[in-house]
Structure 1
Amino acid sequence: MKILQSWILFPLIIVIALLGYLVYDSKAPTHHHVHALTSINKDAFGVPSIKASNTHDAYYTLGYLHATDRLWQMQMFKRTSYGELSELFGEKTQRIDTLMRHFQFKNIAAASFKMQTPRVQAHLNAYAHGVNTRIDEVNKMLYPGLEFMLFPHQIPKWEPYDAIGILKLMSFDLTNKAFQEIQSLMMVKNLNTDQIHDLISHYEGIDPHDIALQFSSDEINKDHGASNVWAIDPTRSSNQISLGAADPHLRLSAPIIWYLVGIDIDHQSIVGATIPGIPAVLIGRNNHLGWGMTNLGADDQDLLYIDKKHPIPAEKVNNVEAIISIKGKKPVTLKFKYTPAGPIISPRSLGIDMFTPDTEFLLQWTALDPHDQSLESMYQVMYSNQIKDAQKKLNLIISPYQNLMIIDQNQLSLSTVGLLPKRKQNHDTQGVFPAAYADRNLWDGLIAFKENPVITNSPNNHFIANTNNQVTNKPYPNNITFIWSDYYRIERIHQLLKNPRLFDIHDMQNMQLDITSVKADHIYKQLISSLSEEYKTTYKEIVQSLIQWHGQMDKTRFEPLFYHLWLRHLEQKLYQPWLHTQWQSVSKISPTLTERILNHQVQSPLWSQHLSDYINLAFIDTVRDLQLKYANILQAQWGDEHQIIQKNIVIDAIPILRNFSQLKSPIDGDGDTLYRTTFMNQKKHPFYSDRSSGLRMLFDMNQPEVKVMISTGQSGDLFSNHYADCFSLWLNGEYISLPLKQAQNNIIETITLSPNPAQ
């Protein structure tokens, strides 16, 4: 029946969409709320360059452009942040809304707006005005966009503080520490002390077996964002000018989260990538500086469990009612509890089934602080001409935590930004596992910004780099986190840059597209050396091909597929007896554990007691898996099983439209290559990927431009020429130029915004 409805619905939508385009001229109206003539020049990929005489007009125009190309996406960001999805989608999003309402992001954003500098308030007001101009137009359209037709409603006004609300959503997306605490506790319940230290090095808190929590969950699988940045100084560059690269690895979608833009205001030009809803170039460059960032992975959240043995005083709890509107149902009134330290959250909201029903969690999280002034800090970077000036206001950032790279023609800098929680020395679990509600486990404010690591290029170190790797060796409580997410990508960068030759921008490009897995290069040799002579003889061709392979995750080769299946079978045998349903999560907590077990560099002998048998059993399991699917294993290809998927979440739910909206293709790489394509670990397609470098940017500080590519296109409209026009280029490793000053011969369309005479 659903398929039949789709076949009826699809032609109807197409007809209405075409009529909408015919009836409504989608070009900008004659008059706008700008103070002076403002121009928008678009290139062949729909990338706009704004030419404005003042900041008000620039940010008004940016708001109008974001809303023109990505209004549905902006609304989804906003509704997700504020817990208002169910108003459109019904009961299926009620649990998401309930979780997000605990954070009170709308109230925090509104309060935070009042604390912003006049510059930030002015930019946000102008931006909101531009967004609302477009919303007024869309609300009157016959064809407001496919998603708005599928879920018709009067689009609400955009508030100036909504940009801050979306920044809070970014903080949520870029951390998983509360969920990681739960996951870590689930993982160690059956481990001995040595095994726990193998999994989480340097942990010195209480024995996690003494934590009085009994629960289960199959839903704790929240990742945080990853990314790469690096730069070389003039002594390593063929043109004697600094070169750099940045590529964030957030969850992919159609459209992608990134929107490219150029802004030319008075004497300062800025180009780069924005997030629709946030009026700032988060990764980009101006006339003098280039900047990019990676996720730090800081431990910015703590869960404290509250139960009969560990109660919270009633006078510290503020009870608040909130109404969640649900499409097709009566509104639901929920009661939320808040304390000075953070909200109290039910286990079910976190995806946990508790065996002790009286247990709740208090969440401590730095992102709930309304005093954050990340936007003022970002504008300081965007408008500065020198690195030292760009760094002056980095202390204003509280969350999210990032490693911020800033480079000019001669100097390099990598700063850790964001304020870290100040945990007490006697904190029960040091933030690694949930702890009981007690004063010793409550934070003592935030650690001063001056304690954050800063890296600059020195005479003995002519490059900087970060791949979410460890940035400090300080002991607890100044260690930032016990769990760092990368060890192998940073090693690959060091391998490539230790070459004494000079590098050019094409070398930077090749590094972003590098598909050699250091982890695979380390591990597969150990696996082969442990194979029985019988298997080496029986499967001689396979083994010889693997011996000659060096970890290149080439989508056209069989070796990456064989290696990953072999490793997956081995890790299941190694870890499932101890970790049960969490065995696939080992690499998220301890990326190097498997390699250390293979090299006998672990404290517990239990990991390796059947190691040789497991390696051989995993090998033959891999052979049998591939024989079931391929007549000749050597003809199998990594890209058969490793594919990139970018979904339009709403349209993807409609089967016949899914074929048009979803972007899918075989792809190189894996989760440990610089060309990062992390696995989704789904049962049917474990190696499919929906996290990768959806934005790639290169900086040659000798050229007034950036080289850049996004993984979809600029538009969120399925029927636009710019919905997916970058996808094939992105797959092929190509880049486009985004100049500080757009050349006349690159302009495909010019739109002029004129002041409204009534102003």
Structure 2
Amino acid sequence: MLGKVFQWLFRIATGLVVLAVIAVSLVYWFAARSLPDYDKTLSVEGLSAPVEIVRDSANVPHIFGETDEDVLFGLGYAHAQDRMWQMLTMRWTVQGRLSEVFGTRTVDIDKLLRRLDLYNVARRSLEVQDDATRAKLDAYAAGVNARLDEVNNEALGRGAPELFLFNAPIAPWTAADSLAMGKIMALQLSGHMANEVMRARTSLALPDPERLRDIMPDAPGAGIAALPEYAAMFPGLPRYAEGAGFSEDPLSPVNPVALAGASNGYAAAPSRSAAGGTLLANDPHLGFTAPAIWYLARLELQSGGVIGGTIPGIPSVLTGRSERLGWGLTSSYMDDQDVHIEQLNPENSEEYRGPEGFVPFETRRSIIRIKNADPITITLRETVNGPVLSGSDYNLSTVTPPGHVASVSWTALEDEDYTIAAGIRLMSAGDIDEALTALEGFTAPSQVITLADQRRIAMKVLGKMPARDPAHRSEGRLPTQGWLPENRWNGYLPDSSNPVFIDPEGGILGNTNNKIVDRAFPEHVSFLWGDTQRIHRWRRLMQNRQVHTRDSFIEAQLDTVSFTARSLLPLIGADLWFTGEAAPEGTPERLRQRALELLADWNGEMNEHLPEPLIYSAWLRALQMRLIQDDLGPLAEEFIHVQPLFIERVYRDIDGASAWCDVRQSGPTETCVDIARMALDDALIWIDETYGDALESLRWGDAHQATHDHQILGDVPVLRHFVNIRQSTSGGTNTLLRGATKGTLPDPFLNVHGAGYRGVYDFADPNSSVFVTSTGQSGHPLSQHYDDLAQLWRRGEYVPMSLDADLARAANEGITVLQPRQ
């Protein structure tokens, strides 16, 4: 009897195993159907002559065609081959249609995008493009659609494995879709609106509004003397109103200010180059995803070859080089957003106050369809200042008085936007003068472009700069009364107002999102800059050498020494180093002494294998919380990243900033030394609970893992182990090898934002130039090219950036020939 039971159990178990194997095999088969075949000939519509796509050993497509339009057709096809899911997700985002695919989780994101109306702005922008740009946009769209047709006709697994899980209809790609990609990038890189709201909330929460200049200081250098008190502009607002913070949904295009955009770009003239040619390096910083947003490509245009980093959906090389010209982008932090508080008519909520009385909103309704739920209808309202946002967007409700709403002015909402056209024209420029001409009309997102041709270097701030009234109440730094004429924009300043630097005497140009000009408002560019720290280390590395090489530029790009650690640790630990008697082993005092001993001998290198970066980072995080918690209350939890200038002001007691050290609610008067010691103990307790108390065996890389996570499947059990790319990494928020940290518990030091692309271009020997991305070319988790570049990127290695067609063919992984369909 027992034998028969065992036999049946064995049969059942075997059957279950067989069924599981069959199920897994079927899933793999269906998923693998969408893996691209790179070695084929395909007849397509929309070409004037054959196009050849040669995939080199890193799966970089080298695209050859008779006309520029044919080449961009090939780029569209290659983008759709490798990154279809990424392109569709970005399009659903900018259209405000994510909820049709993902259900209720994305309703708030859709509402924001519908209110901003970026997709319709892109459609209106298409109408003002010149014929040449329109032809190129149409050709690129036709290439994307050729891949969509191929997927449908040959049953290629819907083009991406995710589309089996999220079955949604796919509309053909259009020229407007590519313009919309520029709009969604502008939103991801914008930070001034969030900063205005946070500045207002902090002003309201502080017992002493004068201390606002400590916790949210200006970048060093001359600046404005004072701001109006927000409570005085809008009396009756609560001293603190709880906000929702920023959505941590990976699909959200809205980031905290510290993660709104960053990058490094620098160039050397021939006089500062060992080989006598110009040099240029660029590493733009964005949020990490799997796959990375960047896609490497080479285009053989009529003007010559172009190679570098593209973003799927956009038909241009955004950072890269030709034989004669190199270019790189960094976020400029131009103040291109203003929040306006609009007063509603008490008698008619469909009207808002203007300079001469109440006027009606422009209104229309928009239906958001939701997967597995009833659709919802929202009313979109617009003022002369811009669209009206919800109180839940950017925590606007916390700074908006009753009877008012908030609107936003933003350059990306401009219909006459030639940003994508400028990027297309730039690829054909032969020198700096032609490049600067090609970039005219660039609107948003504002960027600093670094240029190097074969003889010269240059740098310019791109993007339309708002023309503000000199009498603007807050100079664009706080939300202001939208009905006052002086708070409204007066169009845009002329392009000649944008800072430009050409052929500097020292032969070196660079930008780390730092303050680049010191000009009076309203031509100031910005009061908020993205970096006050990396620039010091960059300057030291550039000045340490009389001449530079490709390798010295790579060395700077990969540098992990923290200027912030070197400057702050002597301040906060000044009265703690080597003081006090030896404490017994196992006591908190002994643990603190061991931590201080390690930090005293540390050079500030944020190496993944060292314990000191973790101890330092945890200490600084705990220190800032100790300093601000009693003054800001719950709002302190929203300052998720350490503010180095704030810590420096406090410990140097600049303008009385040491007042932050005293805990107002306590009886005794705490000193800054007391707070530093208590914060170090806080940090060590957290480290002990998280990693153990063996300080010498700690590894920064265990906490500072780069999180290239799949936006949708990254949190799904089991699947996440196949689609996420996690790597131990060096660097930190304030190193040139930037790895900005998440900032929130339980893993505050995860590396979430950094250089998804690195490139170094040497015009003494252009084909010795190198580049790399942080994941791989393919967005398909089953592809060998999904993560094949990730380990190179982590180790600081690169792949050749060559325009040599024979070299690409010699080790190709396949050649696709697209032929015009007769």
> Which residue does 2:604 correspond to in 1?
551
- 1:49, 1:264 within 8 Å by CA — same for their partners in 2? yes
Per-residue Cα deviation, 1:598-618 (whole angstroms, up to 9, x for no partner): 222244441244311101111
- Alignment of 1:180 with 2:186, yes or no, is no
What secondary structure sits across from 2:440 in the alignment? helix
1:431 CA drift (Å):
1.3
> Which residue does 1:542 correspond to in 2?
595
- Alignment of 1:217 with 2:243, yes or no, is yes
What secondary structure sits across from 1:623 in the alignment? helix
Instruction: State which of 297, 301, 325 in structure 1 corresponds to 2:337.
Output: 301
CA distance in structure 2 between the partners assigned to 1:351 and 1:703 by the alignment: 51
Instruction: State which of 176, 190, 206 in structure 2 corresponds to 1:161.
Output: 176
1:433 CA drift (Å):
1.2
Per-residue Cα deviation, 1:285-333 (whole angstroms, up to 9, x for no partner): 0110000010011111111112358735653411111111111122222
> Which residue does 1:3 correspond to in 2?
none
- 2:467, 2:522 within 8 Å by CA — same for their partners in 1? yes
CA distance in structure 1 between the partners assigned to 2:134 and 2:187 by the alignment: 23
- Alignment of 1:332 with 2:393, yes or no, is no
Structure 2 CA distance for partners of 1:272 and 1:470, relative to 1, 3 Å: same
Structure 2 CA distance for partners of 1:472 and 1:218, relative to 1, 3 Å: same
1:139 CA drift (Å):
3.5
Structure 2 residue identity aligned to 1:640: D
1:91 CA drift (Å):
1.3
Instruction: State which of 234, 239, 246 in structure 1 corresponds to 2:270.
Output: 234
1:581 CA drift (Å):
3.6
What secondary structure sits across from 2:748 in the alignment? coil
1:456 CA drift (Å):
2.0
> Which residue does 2:761 correspond to in 1?
699
> Which residue does 2:217 correspond to in 1?
200
TM-score, length basis structure 1: 0.94
- Alignment of 1:88 with 2:101, yes or no, is yes
Structure 2 CA distance for partners of 1:11 and 1:600, relative to 1, 3 Å: farther
> Which residue does 2:820 correspond to in 1?
755
> Which residue does 1:573 correspond to in 2?
626
Instruction: Name the stretch that deviates more: 717-726 or 392-401.
Output: 392-401
> Which residue does 2:7 correspond to in 1?
none
CA distance in structure 2 between the partners assigned to 1:608 and 1:270 by the alignment: 55
CA distance in structure 1 between the partners assigned to 2:734 and 2:229 by the alignment: 32
Structure 2 CA distance for partners of 1:509 and 1:665, relative to 1, 3 Å: same
Structure 1 residue identity aligned to 2:57: A
1:623 CA drift (Å):
3.0
Structure 2 residue identity aligned to 1:211: M
Q: Which structure 2 segments of 5+ residues have no match?
A: 1-17, 247-255, 346-351, 584-589, 663-670
Structure 1 residue identity aligned to 2:815: T
1:571 CA drift (Å):
0.8
Structure 1 residue identity aligned to 2:192: K
- Alignment of 1:412 with 2:438, yes or no, is no
- Alignment of 1:149 with 2:164, yes or no, is yes
1:644 CA drift (Å):
1.0
Q: Which structure 1 segments of 5+ residues have no match?
A: 1-6
What secondary structure sits across from 1:272 in the alignment? strand
- 2:706, 2:728 within 8 Å by CA — same for their partners in 1? yes
- After TM superposition, list the pairs within 5 Å mapping 1:102-501 onto structure 2: 102-140=115-153, 141=155, 143-144=157-158, 145-189=160-204, 190-198=206-214, 199-201=216-218, 202-203=223-224, 204-212=226-234, 213-214=237-238, 215-220=241-246, 221-222=256-257, 223-308=259-344, 311-312=353-354, 315-354=359-398, 356-438=401-483, 439-459=485-505, 461-501=506-546
CA distance in structure 1 between the partners assigned to 2:369 and 2:430 by the alignment: 48
Instruction: Name the stretch that deviates more: 353-362 or 562-571.
Output: 353-362
- 2:49, 2:820 within 8 Å by CA — same for their partners in 1? yes
Structure 2 CA distance for partners of 1:73 and 1:259, relative to 1, 3 Å: same
- 2:740, 2:754 within 8 Å by CA — same for their partners in 1? yes
CA distance in structure 1 between the partners assigned to 2:106 and 2:28 by the alignment: 27
Instruction: State which of 2, 16, 29 in structure 2 corresponds to 1:18.
Output: 29
How many residue pairs get aligned? The number is 750
Structure 2 residue identity aligned to 1:194: E
Structure 2 CA distance for partners of 1:104 and 1:624, relative to 1, 3 Å: closer
CA distance in structure 2 between the partners assigned to 1:137 and 1:37 by the alignment: 17
> Which residue does 1:639 correspond to in 2?
701
1:703 CA drift (Å):
2.1
What secondary structure sits across from 2:280 in the alignment? strand
CA distance in structure 2 between the partners assigned to 1:588 and 1:22 by the alignment: 44
Q: Percent identity?
A: 28
- 1:218, 1:581 within 8 Å by CA — same for their partners in 2? no
> Which residue does 1:619 correspond to in 2?
680
Structure 2 residue identity aligned to 1:249: H
Structure 2 residue identity aligned to 1:143: G
Structure 1 residue identity aligned to 2:624: E
> Which residue does 2:561 correspond to in 1?
516
- Alignment of 1:599 with 2:613, yes or no, is no
Instruction: Name the stretch that deviates more: 444-453 or 11-20.
Output: 11-20
> Which residue does 2:772 correspond to in 1?
709
Structure 2 CA distance for partners of 1:56 and 1:13, relative to 1, 3 Å: farther
Structure 2 CA distance for partners of 1:128 and 1:22, relative to 1, 3 Å: closer
Instruction: Name the stretch that deviates more: 609-618 or 727-736.
Output: 609-618
Structure 2 residue identity aligned to 1:114: E
Q: CA RMSD in A?
A: 2.3
Structure 2 CA distance for partners of 1:298 and 1:387, relative to 1, 3 Å: same
Instruction: State which of 793, 801, 818 in structure 2 corresponds to 1:738.
Output: 801
Structure 2 CA distance for partners of 1:497 and 1:153, relative to 1, 3 Å: same
- 1:284, 1:290 within 8 Å by CA — same for their partners in 2? yes
TM-score, length basis structure 2: 0.87
- 1:188, 1:579 within 8 Å by CA — same for their partners in 2? no
